[in-house]
């Protein structure tokens, strides 16, 4: 049986990624480049897009070289269709469609949030866990969502009402003069601190971080040690996230919990999620960092699922159908493979 090879391009925000994955779920390459905003600034979408178009040719070449794949071996091209920053999304989509047209292969549009969950399930299975139908806490620079499958779609069972948690951490660190990205800096400082008390805001199944951010900045300006404020910021924000994840798991009666997104690299958050899972008799899995942050392999792998379920775009329809969706909601994405968990597990042998 011949192996299908997919090249996936991720370009929703500050990271650009190219992954090469087979239909057996083997990751042949997964390379990245990151746009770094000017000091004191957040992501400038147009500058990030320029960075991506500059870096993409070399990154693509490196991905194929690492994978040991020639262009003619590629059977499918996938791209991140959204949600994300318009200028950044368009760079990835344009490159993907040009590549697919040149190679005369189909093009698979992928929902970025679905891809985070699918690569997480694949990684969990490859680590020997039987993860079919998890509740996922997806925490990154641009997203904070609790996702689970219900009635054939991934749906949002909790989310942030204002800032994504990664953005909140990055904003705090920028305002206190720490380098970007702030999450790892805050983690490092928090390990040496005693948490200060900060406002905890959970509303039903959702969280809100702006009050926490403001209060943390105020405590720092009033003279609290940065280490202590960082510790308080982490403990409070993560406890809120754990609470809404636990609520979704309880409501849905699920016993698998997946932690993913760039913020999943945080050891304290991972520990708190595992403790919560253990207390409920559930199993938790933290997706390894190279697959948890935005990456091309997750787009390539989900592209394979999209294609296997008849949802890719044939070459002659690419020019009119290869669009981007800046506000692509996760429950708009058709995920027929996930609606039959046992079947997709079979297809991964």
Q: For 150-188, give the DSSP string.
A: ETTEEEEEEEBSS--HHHHHHHHHHHTTPPSSHHHHHHH
Instruction: List Cα–Cα distances, 256 to 238, 259, 281, 282, in angstroms.
Output: 19, 10, 9, 6
Contact letters (x/-) for ligand AMP, 10-39, by CB under 6 A? -----x------------------------
Per CB under 6 A, 187 contacts ligand AMP:
yes
CA distance 233 to 263: 14
* DSSP strand pairing (256-260 vs 206-207): unpaired
Q: Which is nearer to ligand AMP, 22 or 80 (CB)?
A: 80
Choose, by CB under 6 A, the member of 89, 115, 265, 304 that binds ligand AMP: 265
Per CB under 5 A, 11 contacts Mg ion:
no
* Residues binding ligand AMP: number (CB under 6 A): 19
Which residue lies nearest ligand AMP, judged by its C-beta? Answer: 262
Q: Which is nearer to Mg ion, 201 or 326 (CB)?
A: 326
Per CB under 6 A, 296 contacts ligand AMP:
no
Choose, by CB under 6 A, the member of 82, 120, 261, 303 that binds ligand AMP: 261
Closest CA to 25 of 312, 340, 308: 308
CA distance 308 to 96: 18
153-159 sheet: strands from edge to edge: 153-159, 144-150, 135-139, 256-260, 283-286
Per CB under 6 A, 232 contacts ligand AMP:
no
Q: Evaluate whether 290 touches 29 at the Cβ level (below 8 Å).
A: no
Q: Which is nearer to Mg ion, 29 or 114 (CB)?
A: 114
Print the SS3 string covering 29-64: EEEEEECCCCCCCCCCHHHHHHHHHHHHHHHHHHHH
Interacting span for ligand AMP (CB under 6 A) from 43-51, 98-106, 262-270, 333-341:
262-270
Interacting span for ligand AMP (CB under 6 A) from 129-137, 259-267, 310-318, 331-339:
259-267
Lookup: tokens for 161: 């009402």
Look up residue 12 and give its DSSP letter.
S
Residue 48 contacts which entry, Mg ion, ligand AMP, none (Cβ below 5-8 A, type-dependent) = none
* DSSP strand pairing (27-34 vs 15-22): antiparallel
Choose, by CB under 5 A, the member of 140, 173, 286, 302 that binds Mg ion: 140
Alpha helices, H only, the chain: 45-67, 86-103, 112-126, 165-175, 182-190, 210-221, 226-252, 267-279, 289-292, 296-308, 318-321, 341-347
Choose, by CB under 6 A, the member of 11, 111, 136, 140 that binds ligand AMP: 140
Per CB under 6 A, 142 contacts ligand AMP:
yes
Per CB under 6 A, 266 contacts ligand AMP:
yes
Choose, by CB under 6 A, the member of 10, 75, 118, 294 that binds ligand AMP: 294
Per CB under 6 A, 293 contacts ligand AMP:
yes
* DSSP strand pairing (107-111 vs 76-82): parallel
Q: Which is nearer to ligand AMP, 187 or 227 (CB)?
A: 187
Binding to Mg ion (CB under 5 A): which residues in 276-295?
294
Residue 187 contacts which entry, ligand AMP, Mg ion, none (Cβ below 5-8 A, type-dependent) = ligand AMP
Per CB under 5 A, 55 contacts Mg ion:
no
Q: Which is nearer to Mg ion, 140 or 344 (CB)?
A: 140
Q: Which is nearer to Mg ion, 140 or 167 (CB)?
A: 140
Which positions touch ligand AMP (CB under 6 A)? 15, 140-142, 166, 169-170, 181-184, 187, 261-263, 265-266, 293-294
Q: Where along the sequence are the contacts to Mg ion (CB under 5 A)?
A: 140, 294
């Amino acid at each position: 049986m011949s192996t299908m090879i997919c090249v996936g391009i991720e370009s929703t925000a500050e990271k650009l990624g190219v992954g090469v994955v087979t239909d057996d779920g083997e990751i042949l390459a997964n390379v990245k480049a990151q746009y770094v905003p000017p000091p004191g600034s957040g992501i400038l979408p147009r500058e990030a897009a320029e960075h991506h178009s500059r870096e993409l040719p070399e990154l693509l070449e490196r991905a194929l070289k690492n994978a040991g794949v020639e262009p003619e071996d590629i059977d499918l091209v996938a791209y991140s269709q959204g949600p994300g920053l318009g200028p950044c999304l368009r760079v990835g989509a344009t490159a993907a469609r040009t590549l697919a047209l040149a190679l005369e292969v189909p093009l698979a549009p992928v929902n970025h949030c679905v891809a985070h969950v699918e690569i997480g399930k694949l990684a969990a299975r490859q680590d020997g866990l039987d993860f079919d139908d998890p509740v996922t806490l997806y925490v990154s620079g641009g997203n904070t969502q609790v996702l689970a499958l219900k009635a054939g779609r991934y749906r949002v069972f909790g989310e942030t009402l204002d800032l994504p948690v990664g953005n909140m951490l990055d904003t705090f660190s920028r305002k206190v003069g720490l380098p970007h990205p702030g999450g790892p800096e805050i983690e490092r400082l928090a390990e040496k601190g005693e948490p200060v008390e900060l406002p905890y805001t959970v509303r039903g199944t959702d969280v809100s971080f702006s009050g926490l951010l403001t209060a943390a900045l105020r405590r720092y300006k009033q003279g609290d040690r940065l280490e202590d404020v960082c510790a308080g910021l982490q403990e409070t924000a993560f406890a809120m996230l754990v609470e809404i994840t636990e609520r979704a798991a309880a409501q849905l009666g699920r016993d698998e919990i997946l932690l993913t997104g760039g913020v999943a690299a945080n050891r304290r958050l991972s520990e708190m999620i595992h403790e919560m899972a253990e207390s409920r008799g559930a199993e938790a899995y933290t997706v390894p960092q190279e697959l948890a942050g935005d990456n091309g392999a997750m787009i390539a792998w989900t592209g394979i699922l999209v294609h296997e379920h008849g949802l890719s775009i044939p070459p002659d329809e690419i020019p009119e159908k290869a669009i981007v969706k800046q506000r692509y909601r996760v429950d708009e994405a058709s995920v027929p493979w996930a609606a039959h968990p046992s079947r997709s597990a079979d297809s991964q042998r």
